């Protein structure tokens, strides 16, 4: 395989984004059936939720991989490379294998005369790849919602619901109960469900659906518990309790209380697999938690000043991020490099961020879907927060770095696309040391 054939296949795949988001299972089901329903051939953990599902998937995969299993991991979106979405034992699918699968799936879709979206294509690709590579178990993250998400064609013996809040309301509805129902629909007949849903009205929806499916529901804070433990300030230490089982001084490589909650869900799911024949020892659990990696989630990429990347992109995740930054970082001032999709609750997000940030550096992220930075600047005036508009993340960072002292914090947040662009910039190490001037416009 040469690089041009890979790029050609990738270009075709991205051309499907023009179809937009079309929720539904019929088309994906037809193509998967053509390939013998590979998604039904492997044991699966299926993860839905408004926030935290990617982190939970990564933690689950890490414990299972450390236990010696061959684990397929399907997540979305990606940061820098589409192949991040489809991994086995945290190794991205090889380019040659991806080209072969794209050709085969494209041919099948044309033969069946089935239109297919970008996400549906990626989901078929992942299921087929995992089956042909002989994974022991797959950890599958829902793309959007759950009920009509292409991943819901799997038959997971364990489902995880990480959190429920308002996001993608144009697809899932405005009411929390409605959103909870969409996510609960990943639960399969006679399966096991683990959930972190402290709010009563959303819990009732998930509980009722679990009963309807004769599924056993286990809830964080009720059936199993996660509690923070003091220790090394640089470590995210916690204890886990489920019945008579108590694990103390667990160390998680991911920062924040929300990640401890996610770890509790992942750990519970792995313990249930242990009851069902998987060999998972305490040492595997500890090592899996300690070594898990998930980029772009309170990720520190530089110090003096501290630079943190976080993919928070809706009201709940922004609120959690600001809380974690205050609790886990010491800083004098906070400079926020910010961009956001226009379909989010921007006013609510800016209200939260205005209580954290001293100065905002605003950048465009997507011409078709992103909010114009000039409009973000107008919203920030309500809170008397100074802001500047930049053409690129690199320009914004260079100016923020010049202004910031060693005791300050630079936070890049608001969109996964923004964090991805930042990581591309930071791959060029010179960005941390270049003192050249960047053009800016005051707002």
| Statement: residue 397 has pLDDT above 50 | yes
When pLDDT is cut at 50, 70 and 90, the band that residue 436 belongs to is very low
Quote the pLDDT of residue 298. Answer: 92
| Statement: residue 101 has pLDDT above 60 | yes
299-442 maps to CATH 3.90.190.20: yes
The average confidence (pLDDT) of the chain is: 92
pLDDT in tens, 323-339: 999 998 999 999 999 99
Quote the pLDDT of residue 425. Answer: 85
When pLDDT is cut at 50, 70 and 90, the band that residue 228 belongs to is very high
Higher pLDDT, 262 or 233: 262
- In a 13 Å sphere around the CA of 226, the CA atoms on its Cβ side amount to 23
| Burial tier of 136 (Cβ tally within 10 Å: 0-12, 13-18, 19+) | middle
Q: Using an 8 Å Cβ cutoff, are 118 and 14 in contact?
A: yes
- In a 13 Å sphere around the CA of 223, the CA atoms on its Cβ side amount to 17
Rounded Cα–Cα distance for residues 196 and 162 (Å): 5
User: In 22-94, which ranges are E strands?
Assistant: 43-48, 71-74, 86-88, 91-92
pTM of the shown model: 0.92
What totals of helices (H) and strands (E) does the chain contain, helices first? Answer: 15, 18
When pLDDT is cut at 50, 70 and 90, the band that residue 440 belongs to is very low
Question: Comparing C-alpha atoms, which of 388, 403, 413 is closest to residue 301?
Answer: 413
Rounded Cα–Cα distance for residues 137 and 69 (Å): 8
Angle at 87 between CA 114 and CA 164, to 5 degrees: 75
Quote the pLDDT of residue 430. Answer: 55
- The DSSP H or E segment spanning 165 is none
The topology under which CATH files domain 3-291 is 3.40.1190
Rounded Cα–Cα distance for residues 80 and 94 (Å): 15
Q: Which of 66-70, 98-102, 310-314 has the lowest mean pLDDT?
A: 310-314
pLDDT in tens, 115-140: 999 999 999 999 999 999 999 999 99
Domain residues of the chain, as ranges?
Answer: 3-291, 299-442
């Amino acid at each position: 395989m040469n690089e041009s054939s890979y790029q050609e296949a990738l270009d075709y795949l991205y051309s499907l984004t023009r179809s937009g988001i079309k929720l539904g299972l019929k088309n994906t089901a037809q193509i998967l059936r053509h390939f013998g329903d590979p998604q039904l051939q492997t044991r699966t953990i299926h993860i839905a939720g408004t926030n935290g599902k990617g982190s939970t998937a990564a933690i689950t995969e890490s414990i299972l991989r450390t236990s010696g299993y061959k684990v397929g991991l399907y997540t979305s979106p990606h940061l820098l490379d589409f192949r991040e979405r489809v991994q086995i034992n945290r190794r991205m699918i090889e380019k040659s294998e991806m080209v072969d699968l794209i050709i085969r799936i494209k041919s099948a879709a044309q033969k069946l005369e089935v239109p297919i979206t970008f996400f549906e294509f990626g989901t078929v690709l992942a299921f087929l790849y995992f089956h042909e590579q002989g994974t022991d178990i797959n950890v599958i993250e829902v793309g959007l919602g759950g009920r009509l998400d292409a991943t819901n064609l799997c038959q997971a013996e364990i489902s995880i619901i990480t959190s429920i809040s308002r996001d993608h309301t144009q697809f899932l509805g405005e009411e929390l109960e409605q959103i909870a129902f969409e996510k609960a629909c990943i639960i399969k007949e006679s399966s096991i469900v683990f959930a972190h849903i402290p709010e009563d009205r959303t819990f009732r929806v998930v509980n009722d659906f679990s009963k309807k499916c004769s599924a056993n529901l286990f809830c964080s804070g009720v059936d199993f518990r996660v509690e923070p433990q003091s220790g090394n300030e640089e470590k995210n230490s916690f204890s886990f309790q489920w019945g008579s089982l108590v694990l103390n001084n667990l160390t998680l490589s991911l920062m924040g209380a929300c990640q401890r909650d996610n770890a509790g869900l992942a750990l519970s799911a792995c313990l249930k697999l242990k009851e069902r024949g998987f060999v998972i020892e305490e040492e595997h659990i500890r090592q899996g938690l300690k070594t898990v990696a998930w980029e772009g989630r309170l990720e520190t990429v530089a110090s003096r000043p501290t630079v943190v990347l976080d993919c928070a992109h809706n009201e709940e995740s922004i609120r959690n991020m600001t809380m974690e930054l205050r609790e886990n970082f010491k800083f004098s001032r906070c400079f926020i490099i910010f961009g956001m999709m226009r379909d989010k609750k921007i006013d609510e997000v800016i209200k939260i961020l205005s209580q954290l940030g001293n100065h905002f550096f605003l950048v465009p992220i997507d011409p078709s879907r992103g909010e114009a930075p000039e409009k973000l600047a107008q919203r920030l005036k309500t809170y008397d927060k100074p802001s500047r508009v930049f053409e690129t993340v690199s320009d914004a960072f260079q100016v923020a770095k010049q202004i910031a002292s060693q005791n300050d914090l630079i936070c890049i947040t608001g969109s996964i696309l923004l964090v991805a662009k930042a990581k591309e910039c930071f791959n060029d190490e010179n960005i941390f040391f270049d003192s050249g001037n960047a053009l800016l416009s005051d707002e």
